[in-house]
Structures are given as C-alpha cells and as structure tokens.
Chains A and B, each alone.
Chain A
C-alpha cells in the first residue's frame, strides 16, 4: 500500500511538472535562451519555487521527498524536455543543498529555505562543472579569530550571477584536501565578473567569482570536503543525467514531429528509411537512458548493493549519448534544425554543458572502469 501511495505521488509530481513546463516555459522558450533572463523566466523560477521543485530532495520536514533522488529526477527530466536551463538551476541548487546536508548542516539549509520569500535568497550557486579533485582550486581559506575568510577565485560558479549565496571549495593554506564554504555573494569582498559567455544553458549562467577576504562559513569539517563531494557526486550524477535525458526526449519528439510534416522527394521525410533509422536511434537512446536512469534512481534511493555502479552506468551513458543524439536531432531537421526557429540547436548546445558535470567526461569514464571492473 505504501508503495502504491508513493507511486501515485510521483505520478502527480510528473503531471504537475509537465503542466508547469507547458504553461510557464514553452511559450517563451526562444526568449529564455539568454541572460539576463526575461521577466517571464524570472516568474517561472518563482513559480517553480512555489511548487517546491527547488526543495524536492530535502527532508520531509522541509517539504521535500526525504532525500529521495527519483522525485528530483522526475522534475529534472520533465522540465528539461522543454527547458534544460531551468533544469540546470534546480540541479545546481539541489547539489549544493545535498553537500550541505551531507556535511551535517541541516539547520543552515532549513534557515535558507525558510527565508525563501524571494527567489534569489533560495538559490545557492555552485561550481557544478568542475571537479575539485581534478581541477586546480584557486581559492584559499584563512582562519582568523575563529572565522574563515576566502581569497582567490572560484571558477565557473553556476548561478553565480543570480544567486545570493555560493557554496565553493577552498583549500586551507598548504594542507591537503579542501573544505566547502558557504559565502554571501552580496559581501563587498566578493565580486563577480559577470555571466560567462558560454555554449549553452544561457538562462542558468555561470561566473568566475573573486573573493578578497570574504567571510565564509565552513560546511562540516575541513578535512571531510572530498568525502562530502564524492558521496554527493555519485548520488547526484543520475540527477544531472536526468537533465540530459530530458534533452534527449525533447530532441526526439521535435525531430519526430518535424519529420512527419516535412516532405522531400514527394513523401514525408519520416518515410525515408535512412531518416527513419536516425529517428529510431534517437528513440533508442532516449528510452535506454530513461530506463537506465529509472533503475539508477531506485537503486540509489534503496541503497542497494550496487547503487554506485548503477548510478554511474546510467549517468555515463546518458551524458555522453545526449551529445550525439541532440546532434542527430539537428540533422533530422536539416537547415531548419540549425536555426533558432527550432529548439534543436539549443538542446545540442545545452548537452555539451551537461557532459562536463562534476568534471570532464573521460576521467568520469575512467572512474567508472575502476568501480565497475574493480581495477
């Protein structure tokens, strides 16, 4: 009975998200591919907060689903089918929240969410596309009078230009490892260099943020930063892949719709077998991704024995396949797919970002080999 109740809740969630995407995102999709965002997109963000999509993974007493990843996956894939930038915002926020919760900072998360009468207050920027284990950390923390101060640069902080706070990794002097710090971006000691001009996800911009002795709060313990990151990273990878999965679904549906209408050589282009094969491959990729992700979310949520391997299997596949599949999505539409008349070119650009989630793709595949093959 409990399982039925949960399944119904998830169905209702999916219905709600699809309605939200159709009503709030689809009509203004072309305008929403830029930063600063339009008023309509800002309203959509506020509505998404009101609908608690930005807190979907939080504990139940914070109106979330109690740390479950599947509801987040539902939100992200359904929204990203229409608009991956909004999906990336929700994902970034959820990752930052998860690291803080893993670090035991529940009260701070509750405090931030409780104050959310204004959207910017709720958003926590985070360098989602870098891996502090791989990439050089250019930010250092110094402890003075029991308080930490940050100096240096945090690179590619996603939502940096729009969030009130950022969660960033920093090193303490020459000590090994790193810790995570929550810092107020309104402090005069922090300065953003504006939104980075980038390939995609324009409505979810990133920025390089400079800190000059900005006061920050350490999350959990300094020496445990890498552990918080690793735990969060593997757990949240399927969620990141769900954004890419949404892109694949959207790309496949738009390609199908176009190929049914467009005619060439006297017949609908869907009736040409080579193009039909492209569509078939797109469908196969999108559906395989959906099945793998569903399995991964359930494995993560059930803490099954191979949850990490299942999470990586789904994520590595989906994040890489999305780049190829969205490219095919343009190809199916020909010149039309290359223009802003369709949203295929945007999906293609957005998919490139997601491939770099939590660091670049090849090291992730090597990590997968290490885990999956035990070598």
Chain B
C-alpha cells in the first residue's frame, strides 16, 4: 500500500462541527411548543405502558413462543383505541398532528417494557413514512384518511413497508448494491398500472397492515433506475399475506411474507415511478437514493429510540435486581463491580437517547421534518381548525400543478450535503445505540446469573428482543458503511464505496 500525504485537510473544523451540532442550530429554529407536545406524548406512552403492556408483555411472549402462529390482534386493537396509529398523522390529513420527533420519545417509553409492542407502532410509521417520503399528496391523503377512519371505527388501518426479498436484504435501499444484487420483485408496466410478481420477506406488521408500501422494479437488470413504490392494499387480486416467521424475539410484532402473483396495482396507487420523475433535475436513481436516505434518517433515529428504551429497560431491571438480591449476606448493589456496571448501563441508555435527539434535530434542521417544523407552518398546522385544514387540503389536491410542484421540489430540490448529514447521523444513531442496548442486555444477564435466565423476570426476553435491533433497518455493518459514505467519504475523491481493494 502506498500512502501519499497531501497538505489538504481531509476534514474541516466547520464540517465536523456542523455535522454533529444539530441541537445548537435547533435551539433558535425549533418551535417552542414542541417541548410541550413531546411531554404530552410521553405521558400517553407511560400510561399505556403501565396500564396495558407491563402486565401482559411476559405472558404474551410466552404465548407466542408456544404458538408462533398467534397474532396479538388485541394489542393492535388497544393501540388503535388509544389513537396511537394517528398520533403523528398530520392534522391536514385528519390525524392528531403530534410532531414526528415526539414519536421517538414515545417509542422509547414503550420499548423500555416491550420491544415487540413498540415495533408494532414503529413499523406502522415506517410504512407511512415511506409513503410520505414519496410526496405523492393525493395518495398520502387517501391512505391517511383510511388510517383515521380505521381509528374511528375501531378496526386499525396500518401501513407496512415491504422491501426485503428472499435474495436481497440490506442492499435494497443502497442503489450501488442494489444494481449488483439479486432483486426479483418485478413490476411490469401495463395500461392503467403495474402487474407485480415476486415476494417479500421479514415484513414487520405484514399480517396487521391494510396497506403495504411495496418496492418493486420495472427492469430487474436496472433496479435503481426503474424502482417503483406501490401502495398495495389488502384484498388486491393476486396479493397474499403468506407465512409468519418464527423469530427469536420481538414476538408480538409479526414478520410476514408477502406474495405477489400477477397482482395488478392501478395508477392511483403508484406512489413513485420512473415516469413520475421524468423531467426532474435529478435522475430516478438519485431520487431513489435520496428517498431512502431521507427515510433511513428518520427510521434509524426511530430504531435508536427503541434501543434507548431497551437499554433503559435492561438497566432498570438490573438495578431492581441488584438492590434486592443478596450475595454472601450483603446486598449485591454494595459491590463495586455492580455499581460500575450500573453506571455503564445508565451511560448507555442516556447516550442512546442523546443520539436520537440529535438525529431528530438534524432531520428538523435539514431533513424531511424541516418543512413541518418551520415556525409558520408548525403553528398553522397546530392551531388552525381541522375543518379548515381539511378544506385547504381538498383545494390543494384539486390543483395538480401545485401538488406536482411540491413533489418536484421535495424529491429533486434537495441539497446533497444536508441529506448526507441527516442520513449519516441516522446511521450513527442506529448502530451505536443498538450496540449499547445489546451491551446492557448482556450486562443485566451477567449480573443476574441464573435468575436472569428465568422467563418471568423479563431479562432474557429483553436480550432476545434487543438482538434484532442490530439487524433490521440495515444491519449495523451496513449502517457503518452508510456513516462512512455520508459523513466521511465526501471529502475523499479517491474513496470507492462497496468495493474491495483486496
């Protein structure tokens, strides 16, 4: 290996500072009322956690371990009854309109007791977030109306994201990997829509959802240039929610297989296609990458929030054990090693929380939340009556040129440097926090010895649940590559991605 040293600095102080100080900028730009909103949502989560989840989580886990086909519909019903599936649906679409960053705090609370339940709610917003990232306003309005109606009727209407395929996993959201990969879900263009053939696996909430945001490809040889995102509704001919995976943990949230067999999806349900981006200043491939960078910026912050909750839960159970258990006649908590481990676990939980907070600040400053958190927009959406907003939306949806303009601006008017900042932080938050959560789970198990192995104490369930955090939303190895791509490689013209020099 040769090493040439140039005088050019590989990083600048400005970049380093701006990449990692989103909170500083957010102090002045973020609407002050968001703090109050967040506390409202945290209180909702705490109430739900103590009244409903904590008393049932262990028993439900056991039940599903004994019968992996069981679907905890009653948990979905309860979350629906409490309004959790419309919590962050913007008021303009009929939802409760809580700001999106509040969802992270909400998820942390739920995850501190049960990651399975947290993922039921989180995966719904992942599906909805995918749709929102396409900026297809008429389709967003349609799906959101159904979600709101589902809540009103008591029959939850949820959204899933269908991306992973049997032969293609973490490479699907990365165009560079995608083009060399083995995707097989074909969307053949026909008059009036697309005909889809293929299958998707590991789809969180597949069994619970009404809508499935499905990524498919017009040309399997050129997937990133021909990707389409389809809103597939249950009941579509040729579409079937097939098997349910037998997983190690997060059992309450099913991982489903979706099968498409000559399934026709009409144009009104096409969220994004190459036709739609024709004439934009960016290529379809660039838009695909931008869309999934935007999505991962928020979804990985979400996984970070789950990790923070799980890390906290592990800490809390270890603390309770150490405070009560006696070894050789003294409380375990009086051992120095126990105190240091509890301090480490506390640190892991807090660092995980700070990471999603920072990632969300970045999304507010530069990312997909930016528009919604601009003070005039935020306060208008918060304080104007729903009926007025609904009237306004109706008018806007009638103006095709306006929805088209908004969409074009959002999909192709992005600043790559800003997207890199949010996506890089999202990746960092995800892998750092999930590793920290796994460490906490292991430390709790280590401290509790044989007691920690007992299902009824919940520690071993947490360990099983937590392991998935290192895998979904891009394995932690892929997330490290994403951090490199977004935050490190941009000043290194010689850096190649997803290639090997050996």
- Residues of A with Cβ closer than 8 Å to B? 129-130, 133-136, 155-156, 196-200, 263-267, 271-275, 278, 323, 327, 330-331, 334-335, 337-341, 345, 348-349, 352-353, 355-356, 359-363, 366
Contact = CB atoms under 8 A, between A and B. Distances in A.
B326 A275 contact: no
B182 A263 contact: yes
A272 B500 contact: yes
Contact of A339 (B246, B450, B481): B246
Interface in B448-463: 448-450, 452-456, 460, 463
B170 A264 contact: yes
Contact of B463 (A199, A338, A361): A199
A263 B171 CA distance: 10
Given A327-B438, A330-B467, A134 B455 contact: no
Nearest to A30: B246
Given A133-B328, A360-B447, 11 more contacts: A199-B453, A263-B181, A263-B182, A264-B181, A335-B471, A345-B248, A345-B464, A345-B467, A356-B449, A360-B446, A362-B447
Contacts of A359: 449
A264 B169 contact: yes
B130 to A, nearest CB: 18
B445 A129 contact: no
B450 A349 contact: no
B180 A334 contact: no
A335 B248 contact: no
A171 B468 CA distance: 44
A355 B177 contact: no
Contacts of B472: 335
B202 interface: yes
A361 B341 CA distance: 13
Nearest to B250: A338
A169 B68 CA distance: 38
Given A335-B472, A362-B337, A265 B328 contact: no
14 contacts: A135-B450, A199-B460, A263-B182, A264-B181, A266-B181, A327-B438, A330-B467, A331-B477, A335-B201, A335-B255, A335-B471, A338-B248, A341-B246, A356-B453
A134 B247 contact: no
B167 interface: yes
B388 interface: no
B498 A265 contact: yes
Contacts of A130: 449-450
B450 A331 contact: no
A360 B449 contact: yes
Among B62, B327, B438, B468, residue most surrounded by chain A Cβ atoms (within 10 Å): B327
Contacts, number: 134
B164 interface: yes
A267 B182 CA distance: 10
A334 B169 contact: yes
B30 interface: no
Contacts of B498: 265
Contacts of A156: 450, 453
Contacts of B201: 335
A337 B68 CA distance: 17
A339 B247 contact: yes
A117 to B, nearest CB: 33
A355 B481 CA distance: 33
B446 A274 contact: no
Contact of A352 (B169, B170, B445): B445
Nearest to A333: B471
Nearest to B61: A197
A367 to B, nearest CB: 13
Given A134-B328, A265-B176, A360-B447, A339 B167 contact: no
B470 interface: yes
Contacts of B326: 136
Contact of B454 (A198, A274, A339, A360): A198
B410 interface: no
A349 B247 CA distance: 13
A263 B255 CA distance: 22
B500 to A, nearest CB: 6
Given A136-B326, A265-B180, A349-B248, A356 B450 contact: yes
B453 A265 contact: no
A125 B320 CA distance: 30
A155 B449 CA distance: 13
B327 A134 contact: yes
A273 to B, nearest CB: 6
B286 interface: no
Among B171, B438, B480, residue most surrounded by chain A Cβ atoms (within 10 Å): B171
Contacts of A133: 328
Contacts of B180: 265-267
A337 B498 CA distance: 23
Contacts of A323: 442
Contacts of B471: 330-331, 334-335, 337-338
B19 interface: no
B248 A198 contact: no
Among A274, A338, A362, residue most surrounded by chain B Cβ atoms (within 10 Å): A338
Contact of A198 (B455, B475, B476, B481): B455
Interface string B146-175: 000000000000000000100111110010
A265 to B, nearest CB: 4
Contact of B169 (A266, A273, A335): A335
Contacts of B181: 263-266
5 smallest CB-CB distances across A and B, nearest first, come from A266-B180, A360-B449, A265-B177, A197-B455, A199-B460
A348 B245 CA distance: 18
Interface string B48-59: 000000000000
Interface in B115-149: none
B502 interface: yes
A348 B475 CA distance: 18
Among A135, A265, A271, A348, residue most surrounded by chain B Cβ atoms (within 10 Å): A265
Contacts of A273: 500, 502
Nearest to A136: B326
Nearest to B176: A265
A74 B468 CA distance: 33
Contacts of B328: 133-134
B245 A339 contact: yes
Interface string B419-463: 000000000000000000010001001111110111110001001
A271 B463 CA distance: 30
Contacts of B446: 355, 360-362
Contacts of A341: 246
A334 B169 CA distance: 8
Contacts of B454: 196-198
A178 B395 CA distance: 83
A337 B247 CA distance: 9
B202 A335 contact: yes
Contacts of A267: 180
A363 B464 CA distance: 24
B463 A352 contact: yes
B23 to A, nearest CB: 31
Nearest to A272: B500
Contacts of B68: 340
